[in-house]
Amino acid sequence: MNLHILHQTALAMVAPGKGLLAADESTGTIAKRFAKIGVENTEPNRRAYRDMLFTTPGFEQYTSGVILYEETLFQTSLAGEPFPKLLAAKGVIPGIKVDKGAKPLAGGGPEETVTEGLDGLRERLVKYQEAGARFAKWRAVITIGEGTPTDYAIRVNAHALARYAALCQEADITPIVEPEVLMDGDNTAETCERVTERVLSQVFRELYDQRVALEGMVLKPNMAVSGLKCPQQASVEEVAERTLRVLKRCVPAAVPGIAFLSGGQSDEDATAHLNAINQLAAAQGAPWRLTFSYGRALQHAAQVAWAGKNVEAGRMAHLHRARMNGLATQGKWSPALEKAA
């Protein structure tokens, strides 16, 4: 394990003004996105779509790295260049999703899952490293419901995240540790904050126990938001306060950066929240950089504009969201910028 390399990659992933593009939808997940825009889920269409994203002129100004799905890591661009090489040439770090998805947790509460993919991971990481991946992602999923999450589900998911992170560091691949508390329910932002605190404190306990070097990782958490079905939606300011508070309580200062997931927030909400969190962090002081690692909130507009054929429109929509979120990492975004565009 080379801690210097791991740390340098982590710092580059959260470089000022930049964040991560999560384009690592599994074949099943991208099918759902394509269905909404009437595009058939075929290998050539997935390749063309990701080619459109990664050849967006100027997106590298706001994009430190891209999380790829395994298929994409080994694909070439439409111009015939391996995608990781194309990205690296623009100064964008290629990364790879390595988990095999969240599966029902035996003996767990309703809807509870545990993420699979540890068996054979050490060998896969060597292949990914050779293909150009410099960081990885593993997503654990925590559901809020009646009596959930259970401590059991939190514990096994945190344990798997730490096992994954330790294996990545052994291979000089910087792990993104992603414990996602879902926002699908009817719970309040207060409940989300409480559950997030339980989850993050367990995750950092496991990372410590399994000797993961905090300087060589990036945390990818949810924000403390209201569930989508909650009648009372917390304000942008409340989300920022709750999110920063829970992070300060749980995330050691040795972690270089925190890159939020968007989790089903609207494009503009995800940007507004990130902006407010950064403004608050600047006012209070915070030990880590705070940025984005968005999937849906960076790609939704681009997918609608592209719709399988309009490459230029797709690129423009992608660039716009990347730029808005880049500004939000510095607390320099405002709703007026959306209208101006």
Positions touching ligand 13P (CB under 6 A) are 22, 139, 178, 261-263, 294-297
Q: How far is the CB of 11 from ligand 13P (least distance, A)?
A: 20
Structure tokens at 194: 């409480």
- Rounded Cα distance between 338 and 288, Å, is 27
Does the annotation count 220 as an active-site position? Answer: yes
Which of 315, 256, 274, 295 lies closest to 52, judged by CA? Answer: 315
93: left (phi over 0), alpha (psi -120 to 50) or beta: beta
- Nearest CB to ligand 13P, comparing residues 271 and 278: 271
Q: How far is the CB of 180 from ligand 13P (least distance, A)?
A: 6
- Nearest CB to ligand 13P, comparing residues 132 and 263: 263
Catalytic residue among 97, 111, 220, 241: 220
Does the annotation count 237 as an active-site position? Answer: no
263: left (phi over 0), alpha (psi -120 to 50) or beta: left
Q: Which residue sits closest to ligand 13P, CB atoms considered?
A: 295
Q: How far is the CB of 196 from ligand 13P (least distance, A)?
A: 15
Q: How far is the CB of 310 from ligand 13P (least distance, A)?
A: 22
Q: How far is the CB of 30 from ligand 13P (least distance, A)?
A: 12
- Nearest CB to ligand 13P, comparing residues 33 and 81: 33
- Nearest CB to ligand 13P, comparing residues 139 and 242: 139
- Nearest CB to ligand 13P, comparing residues 49 and 294: 294
Helix (H, G, I), strand (E, B) or coil at 93: strand
Q: How far is the CB of 20 from ligand 13P (least distance, A)?
A: 8
Which of 24, 21, 6 lies closest to 61, judged by CA? Answer: 21
Which of 18, 50, 30 lies closest to 314, judged by CA? Answer: 50
Which of 155, 178, 153, 156 lies closest to 165, judged by CA? Answer: 178
Whether the Cβ atoms of residue 264 and residue 183 lie closer than 8 Å to each other: yes
Run of H or E including 197: helix 189-209
- Nearest CB to ligand 13P, comparing residues 266 and 282: 266
Helix (H, G, I), strand (E, B) or coil at 180: strand
Catalytic residue among 112, 178, 193, 241: 178
321: left (phi over 0), alpha (psi -120 to 50) or beta: alpha
Long-range (24+ apart) CB contacts under 8 A made by 104-109 are 105/152, 105/153, 105/156, 107/152, 108/150, 108/152, 108/153, 109/143, 109/145, 109/147, 109/148, 109/149, 109/150, 109/153
Number of helices (H), then strands (E), belonging to the chain: the values are: 13, 10
- Residue numbers annotated as active site: 178, 220
